[in-house]
Amino acid sequence: MKKGILYIATGSEYIQEAKRSAQYVRSVVDYPIAIVTDQQVEDHIFDEVIIDPDPRNTYIDKPRNLGRTPFENTIFIDTDAYIINDIGELFDLLEFVDLAAVVDPNEDALRLMNERYYDTLPESIPEYNTGMIVYSSAAVNNGFFQRWEENYSQDHSQDQISFRKTIAETDLQFSSLSNVYNCLIDWPIQVTGEVKILHDISRKLTSENIEDVKNRINKSTEPRILYSGQDRVVYPLSEFGNKIAYILYTYNIFNYNIINNSVKAIRSVCDNGIITTLHKVKKNL
């Protein structure tokens, strides 16, 4: 099969989540769908079920299994993601590049908290959200996913950190994508144009509300800030609404900065001792 959608899901909970996402995909686009999983799935929603006989039930299952795609050109999405509009242009992109993903909107905070290579890789290399990855058979044949797995195994406990390092090391043709192709609705995010893929980390989307969310998010294609409330996604388009969204965004960043600085201080004490850490703090004041 030349083009298709891929899920990776281990455990009954994530398999059911993949089914819900795939059912919505079927209502929007007409591409074959495959799933890599740890058990047989008797459901016509998937065109192919690929068994992982030895799942690790951690983030490493992603790089371990992406190379097992049955498609020449693949759009991988997490089980909590939903394709809400035609995404055929992503397959067209693979005529020019081998691999593509969206920069994580929270990349700076994530890198400061977790990034072991923050000081050794160029800061300009972003951290990508791996909840949606577009790739061709060239990425599989090149050994990109094996290298990603190795980097994860050696140094990391979070897949996006090792993905960033692997991107820095690869000679594949890589492209960054607009966040309309991986719109994290739980994080303040600016979008321009029609959102194509929703990523619902907090699991707020249901079969009852997804159409409403889709329509509200794409009521306009003008530049807009999206922010997720307690039970719905809002899209402030007015000047006042954008100011409110910015205040909420600043509040989140403030909380992350407290966590980031605490984590960095603990790491420095563990690695360098309290005296060296205090000297570093004094130097940066």
Contact 29, 87 (CB under 8 A): yes
- Tokens in use for 5? 């959608």
Q: Cα–chain-centroid distance for residue 273?
A: 35
pLDDT (0 to 100) of residue 237: 44
Which strand (E) or helix (H) includes residue 183? strand 183-184
235-263 burial: b if 16+ Cβ within 10 Å, else e: bbeeeeebeebeebbeeeeeebeeebeee
Per-residue pLDDT tens listing for the chain (285 residues): 799 999 999 989 999 999 999 999 999 999 999 999 999 888 889 999 999 999 998 899 999 999 999 999 999 999 999 999 999 999 999 999 999 999 998 776 666 665 555 567 887 888 899 999 999 999 999 999 999 999 998 876 678 888 998 999 999 999 999 999 999 987 778 889 999 999 998 888 888 888 988 988 898 888 887 776 544 454 444 556 656 666 665 666 566 566 666 766 776 777 778 877 776 666 665
Longest dimension (CA), the chain: 62
Q: Is 182 exposed, middle or buried (0-12, 13-18, 19+ CB in 10 A)?
A: buried
pLDDT (0 to 100) of residue 185: 84
